[in-house]
Structures are given as structure tokens and as C-alpha cells.
Amino acid sequence: MNISHASVLPEEVLHYLGVDDTEHLLLDATVGEGGHSYAFLERFPNLRVIGLDADSRILGRARERLARFGDRVELLHTWFDAYFEREPEAGRPTRILFDLGVSSFHFKASGGGFSFREDEPLDMRLNHDELEDAADLVNNLPQDELAAVIYRYGEERYSRRIAAAVVRRRAESPLRSSAELADLVYHAVPAPYRHGRIHPATRTFQALRIAVNRELERIERALAGAIDQLVPGGVIGVIAFHSLEDRIVKRMFREKSKACTCPPEMPICKCEGVPVLELITRKPVFASETEREHNPASRTARLRVARKC
């Protein structure tokens, strides 16, 4: 089959989340086209994998790719935060992996308007069971709220100018395609900004995708649930691609690795707490220079790993 997405940090993930020859369960919380799961199943013959994905289309591609491993694989169509809200029926995992990046499949082959380089319907939903898409946000949010979304989730300095341009345009006719929005953003920002390191619509598209799929709030809930489900001694690894995701992971890992949870103003510890996690990587692990050259998607990837106490 034709694979759209090359999984990032494959050797690093196998190194930090690798297992011994006994039976283990890996929960691949963002299975995508199955790249990381394939590597684990091939390397560790006594490993079982449960793979989750919110997009039924990409889950079908993973099912085809991983078919050779038979009943060692179970794939579920669900948001990862929803999965971790319930008791695991297949047992608690010894390894959990989150790859928070959106698959190249969505940019190249989904037709969902994720890319500003294509002329596609302005959708951006990872799960089509969700009712609200990117066109709904762009055409219905009040100007101040739209600017806040673009600034908060895209860290876009010209969010107000872009939101104002959107509101002027939609008063004439609704915005319906990714190409329309990309062109509008391009002309809304100052001329020097149009020729920077990235396309001027990059942050706006990121912000809308995050808002449509409620990605950041899902990550926070899912991480908390995943840590609860992980067996003692088990390992959790998270690959983030931008600072908004990584801050959530870094903060949660840091808080869960503290023994004391007393307020800072309390001079003496009275909580008698114990840490939940032990940090395996004190700093994020980045892709090698070789991988960055061969897989541009890995350039912003960063892996954090912790073990449950």
C-alpha cells in the first residue's frame, strides 16, 4: 500500500519504550497509518498493540498495514481522551505512546482542507462524526472570538488583522475552501510577513484545526487518564510538534514527578505525597540531523518519556 506518513523518531521511540521478551501491551493512542505500531510489532514478538484513532479513514489504512500481525493488533475508532475515560477491557498497558502530530495523510490525501496549498473544502475535522467544521468557525464566530482563536492556538501576531479580513469577506459571501482562506490571509498580513520562513497562513490553519478538534483540551484529559491506566513500572512517551502541545506534556510530567504537592507558600511539607512519575528524559529528545534531512516533518518533533512509579 502507499504510505503517506513517515513516523518520526522511530529508533528513539523503540529505545525508550522497548520491552523485554515477556508479554506486554502497547497502547498506541494515535496510531495513524500504523508506522510506530508496525515497528514495535516487528521488533518485539511478544508485544500486543491496541491502536486508537479518531479518523476512520486512516484507521482503515492502519488495519491494512498491520494485518500481517493478526490478533496481536486491535484497532479502535475513538478519540484518545474518550478511551482513557473508561476502564480498559483488554488490560492495563505497560507502554503508552502519543504521537500528537497530524498525519501527512490529512495534508496530502484526506481532502479535508488541512493544507493551505490545496483547494479543498474548509473542513479540518479528524472525526467526521463531529458537527462543527472549520468553515463554521470562520463564517460564524464573532470577530473578537475568531481573533482570539487564531492568537491562542496559532500564536499568530496578526490575528486581529486576519479576523477583520475574514469578517469583511464573509459579509459578501461565506468562505468555503482552504485556498480561499489561504489567499485571504496572505493579503491580510503586511507585505514583508508574506515572505518569511513559513507561509503566512500556517499559524491560522493550525489554530483552526486545533479549535475544530479541541486538541489541547483532549491532550490534557488523555494524558491524565493514560497515566492512571498505565501499570506501575510502565513507560509513557509523548511526541509533540509545537510549543502548545509540549507545554501541556512538560507541565503534567513535571507535576506528576513531584513528591510534594503542597502550595509553594507552605514552609513545611504536610501532604506526605509520593511522585507518580519518574522522568526518563529530563529534556526533550529531538530527531537526528539525518532524520531531519530525510523527513522534514521531524524537524519540530520532540519526545518526552516518563516511567510510572
Distance CA 271, CA 7 (A): 42
Q: Is the pLDDT of residue 271 over 70?
A: no
Q: Tell which residue, 244, 241, 245, 237, has the closest CA to residue 279.
A: 237
Res 79: pLDDT? 96
Q: At what angle do helices 215-229 and 202-213 cross, to 10 degrees?
A: 50
> Each residue of 226-246: pLDDT tens digit?
999 999 999 999 999 999 999
pLDDT at 101: 81
183-195 pLDDT, tens digit each:
999 999 999 999 8
Which CATH number is associated with domain 10-103+216-308? 3.40.50.150
3-class secondary structure, 57: helix
Beta-strand relationship, 95-99 and 24-28: parallel
- Domain range annotation of the chain: 10-103+216-308, 111-213
- pLDDT of 35-67, one tens digit each? 999 999 999 999 999 999 999 999 999 999 999
Q: Does domain 111-213 have CATH number 1.10.150.170?
A: yes
- Indicate the DSSP class of residue 233: T
Q: What is the pLDDT of residues 243-263, one digit of tens each?
A: 999 999 999 999 999 877 666
Contacts of 169-175 spanning 24+ positions with Cβ under 8 A = 170/138, 170/139, 174/135, 174/139, 175/122, 175/135, 175/138, 175/139
Per the document, the length of the chain is 309
CA dist 91 and 25 (Å) reads: 8
CB 287, CB 8: distance < 8 Å = yes
What pLDDT score does 204 carry? 97
If pLDDT is split at 50, 70 and 90, which confidence band does 29 have?
A: very high
Q: Model confidence over 78-112: pLDDT tens digits?
A: 999 999 998 877 789 999 999 998 888 787 877 88
Nearest Cα to Cα of residue 234 among 88, 103, 102, 34: 88
Q: Are 298 and 11 contacting, i.e. CB atoms less than 8 angstroms apart? A: no
For the ranges 89-93, 222-226, 266-270, the one whose mean pLDDT is highest: 222-226
